[in-house]
């Protein structure tokens, strides 16, 4: 049987090129080698999203994103966290093996505490218990499926360490019940720059969206910051924010030719932006159509997600049964 790789996609709105290149594309490639599981942690999002419609919409958007980009639901398993009740039961069991000190040291929790202290507020102000125990629910997401590999960005590395810690503590008490997962740190750790050269991120307002209508893609492309070198001057392609995106989307020969043109002189930024825009359209216009079609047919999306949840629960049930047996609760 193939080993299991699991990826979660936060329901946080329409993706940008940074998400695509840094996370979505690599996650889809996992299905070639592993039994790949893809889920949307919608109950996790309840720690911060308090609008019912918004939470549901964002969850559909995340599912449609993966499917539009080529996830084949007959190969990969795609599901909503909230469709798997076993996750929440396991989370309780795991919480009894998680020391409070371990969660106190979580970077994500500490960052909010630090913000509170810096602003002169009480240190746990506005921190709900869901936010505090977030890593326990994440551990349940992973351990419930006997996951072997979890691809993570550097930001999630510590959460995975917590998962391993909790699983090892559990196994120390009961024997080899839980599979200890390994982090696969996305090694390129390539950070895609946004249109201002800083890391592309919604919080910097510097993103190029992948599923937005063409005019909303063209606008940020035109605003990509460049230096003021004239076309005939030689330029360093590795210093150029247009090339930083172009090189990940164009084919190898085109990238080589472009690199040469930068170095030798003769490249003008205006036409280069137009070329990048054309490349974005060629890469994403079909996918955007598929995304829009899925978002207009939520019944179809629900069906795909429900089918995925059934498959996921088939994997989960025997593992949860092992946990129940190990701890001595009702079978
Ligand atoms: P976020 O919703 O910002 O946490 O992004 C989700 C994931 O997308 C991150 O964990 C990264 O793997 C990836 N990602 C986001 N922004 C970028 C970027 N500018 N460059 C590369 N990868 C990114």
* Burial of 186 (C-beta count, 10 Å sphere; 0-12/13-18/19+): middle
Q: Are residues 284 and 209 in the same domain?
A: yes
92, part of any domain: yes
Q: State the total domains in the chain.
A: 2
Model pLDDT for residues 274-300, shown as the tens digit of each residue? 999 999 999 999 999 999 999 999 999
Q: According to the model, what pLDDT value does residue 156 have?
A: 84
pLDDT single digits (tens) 111-169: 999 999 999 999 999 999 999 999 999 999 999 999 999 998 877 889 999 999 999 99
Same domain, 58 and 152: yes
Same domain, residue pair 282 and 162? no
Please tell me whether residues 21 and 64 are part of one structural domain.
yes
Q: Is 120 left (phi over 0), alpha (psi -120 to 50) or beta?
A: left
Q: What percent of the chain has pLDDT over 90?
A: 94
Q: Residue range 213-222: average pLDDT?
A: 97
More confident residue, 22 or 139: 139
In this structure, the answer to whether residues 37 and 82 fall within a common structural domain is yes
User: pLDDT tens digits for 51-68?
Assistant: 999 999 999 999 999 999
* CA–CA dist 122, 119 (Å, integer): 9
pLDDT (0 to 100) of residue 188: 56
Residue 23 maps to a domain: yes
| DSSP code, position 135 | H
* Domain match, 132 and 245 both: no
pLDDT value of position 187: 61
**DSSP collapsed to 3 states, 166-190:** HHHHHHHHHCCCCCCCEEEECCCCC
Residue 12 beta carbon below 6 angstroms from any ligand 1 atom: yes
221 CA to centre of ligand 1 in angstroms: 19
Give a yes or no: residue 183 inside a domain.
yes
Q: Which residue range forms the structural domain that includes residue 237?
A: 202-291
From the alpha carbon of 156, which atom of ligand 1 is closest?
Answer: 10
Does one domain contain both 52 and 183?
A: yes
Residue 14 has pLDDT above 90, yes or no: no
- Check whether residue 276 and residue 322 sit in a common domain: no
What is the percentage of the chain residues whose pLDDT exceeds 70?
99
Q: Is 265 in the pocket of ligand 1 (CB under 6 A)?
A: no
Q: Are residues 34 and 175 in the same domain?
A: yes
Region 247-265: mean pLDDT is 96
Domain match, 41 and 107 both: yes
230 and 165 inside one domain = no
Angle at 41 between CA 313 and CA 297, to 5 degrees: 85
- What is the separation of C-alpha 271 from the centre of its chain, rounded to a whole number of angstroms? 33
CA of 15 to the centre of ligand 1 (A): 9
3-state SS, residue 144:
coil
pLDDT score at 271: 97
Please check the confidence at residue 190 and state whether its pLDDT lies above 90.
no
The answer as to whether 154 is a domain residue is: yes
In a domain, 153, yes or no: yes
Average pLDDT over residues 213-218: 97
Q: Is 27 in the pocket of ligand 1 (CB under 6 A)?
A: no
CATH code for the domain in which residue 215 is found: 1.10.240.10
- Kindly state whether residue 99 falls inside one of the protein's structural domains: yes
157 or 42, higher pLDDT: 42
Same domain, 90 and 219: no
Task: Report d(CA 176, CA 170) in Å as an integer.
Answer: 9
* 173: CATH: 3.40.50.620
**Does a structural domain hold residue 197?**
no
| Residue 238 structure tokens | 């590795």
* pLDDT(8) > 90: yes
For the cut 60, the answer to whether the pLDDT of residue 189 exceeds it is no
Average pLDDT, the chain: 96
């Amino acid at each position: 049987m193939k080993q299991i790789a699991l990826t979660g996609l936060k329901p946080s709105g329409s993706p940008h090129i940074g998400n695509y290149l840094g996370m979505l594309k690599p996650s889809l490639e996992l299905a070639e080698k592993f039994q790949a599981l893809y889920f949307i942690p919608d109950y996790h999002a309840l720690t911060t999203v308090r609008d019912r419609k918004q939470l549901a919409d964002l969850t559909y958007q995340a599912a449609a994103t993966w499917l539009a980009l080529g996830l084949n639901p007959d190969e990969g398993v795609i599901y909503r966290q909230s469709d798997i009740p076993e996750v929440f039961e396991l989370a309780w069991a795991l919480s009894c093996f998680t020391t409070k000190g371990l969660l106190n040291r979580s970077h994500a929790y500490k960052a909010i505490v630090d913000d509170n202290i810096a602003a002169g507020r009480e240190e746990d102000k506005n921190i709900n218990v869901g936010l505090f125990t977030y890593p326990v629910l994440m551990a349940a997401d992973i351990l419930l499926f006997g996951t072997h590999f979890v691809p993570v960005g550097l930001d999630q590395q510590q959460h995975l360490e917590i998962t391993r810690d909790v699983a090892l503590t559990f196994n120390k008490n009961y024997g080899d019940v839980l599979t200890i997962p390994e982090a696969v740190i996305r090694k390129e750790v390539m950070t895609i720059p946004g249109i201002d050269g800083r890391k592309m991120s919604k919080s910097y307002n510097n993103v190029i969206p992948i599923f937005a209508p063409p005019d909303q893609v063209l606008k940020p492309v035109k605003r990509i910051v460049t230096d003021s070198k004239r076309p005939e001057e030689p330029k360093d392609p590795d210093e150029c924010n247009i090339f930083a995106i172009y090189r990940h989307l164009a084919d190898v020969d085109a990238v080589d030719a472009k690199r040469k043109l930068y170095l030798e002189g003769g490249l003008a930024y205006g036409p280069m932006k137009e070329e990048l825009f054309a490349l974005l359209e060629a890469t994403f216009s079909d996918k955007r159509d598929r995304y829009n079609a899925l978002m207009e047919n939520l019944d179809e999306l629900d069906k795909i997600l429900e089918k995925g949840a059934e498959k996921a629960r088939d994997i989960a049930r025997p593992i949860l049964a092992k946990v129940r047996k190990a701890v001595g609760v009702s079978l």
